[in-house]
Amino acid sequence: MTTNAERVDAYLVAGGKYHDIDFARAELLGLLAEHPHIRVTVAPDYEATSVITESAFLISYTCDVRPSESAQVTLRDWVESGGRWLALHGTNAALDLPRPNGVEAPRCFPIWAELLGSQFVAHPPIHLYQVELSDPNHWLVEGIEQFETDDELYLMEHCDLQELQPLLHTNWSGEATGFAENDWGESERHLVQYLRPLGAGGVLYNTLGHCRGHWDMQPLMDYYPVIERCSWEQPMYHELLRRGIRWAMGHSA
């Protein structure tokens, strides 16, 4: 537990569709509470940019939350000037559904995708897959053994892969059933966690952490039959989040 008496203000965006946002919000607040000097503002979207840019760092767990262009530009400038952002799971996702050919991922926020270093396109059905270390000497993943998790395996587009610092990845090829862009037959390495440096700041993106409860698919489905917690049940995921929070606070080890 951190004993630094100086107050640190953080901003948590938790909102969106098709996920148990209440669960994710509570889990993240619990991890932040391990640092008693952190005070957290919580919001469902990114539009209160003046408060975000006055915060020491930003954490996000969202899905299909599409920021206004002005919010995208402001947050990009904030990161470039030194802001740190721990972005989780569906932060990079825009979804259009239902559609005749499956769930579509409209390329509707290019500034956002460039800032985050990726845009979600599809995922195969939740299944067990191996998470491997891309950079085992980096302190954010050092000492973490490769692990299996049952989660949504994010298939993404990257504006410039060379700008990213891969930390975790998996290897997979196959079909993303239910998505319009479903053919991922070429064997390919997919990033699971990476750093996206930008100016004096940066984004740490982790794609893991899907969660869904019985009532989170409305209005598409009144009652979802399964409670999904995925990587939230993995001790390794909680360790990754703890290190991510430390990184967002400005730690370098």
Say yes or no to pLDDT of 238 above 90. Answer: yes
pLDDT tens for each residue of 12-21: 999 999 999 9
- Which band of pLDDT confidence, cut at 50, 70 and 90, is reported for residue 180? very high
Mean residue pLDDT of the chain comes to 96
Instruction: Specify the 3-state DSSP secondary structure of 227.
Output: coil
Per-residue confidence (pLDDT) for residue 253, from 0 to 100 = 82
Class of domain 8-120+193-248: alpha beta
Percent of the chain with pLDDT over 90: 96
What span, in angstroms and rounded, lies between the C-alpha atoms of 109 and 88?
Answer: 17
Instruction: Specify the 3-state DSSP secondary structure of 29.
Output: helix
pLDDT tens for each residue of 24-51: 999 999 999 999 999 999 999 999 999 9
Per-residue confidence (pLDDT) for residue 3, from 0 to 100 = 54
The structure's pTM equals 0.97
Buried b (16+ CB within 10 A) or exposed e, 31-62: ebeebeebebeeeebbbebeebbebbbbbbbb
What span, in angstroms and rounded, lies between the C-alpha atoms of 245 and 5?
Answer: 17
Domain ranges of the chain: 8-120+193-248
φ and ψ at residue 99, rounded to 5 degrees: -135, 150
Per-residue confidence (pLDDT) for residue 186, from 0 to 100 = 83
Instruction: Specify the 3-state DSSP secondary structure of 70.
Output: helix
- AA letter at 170: T
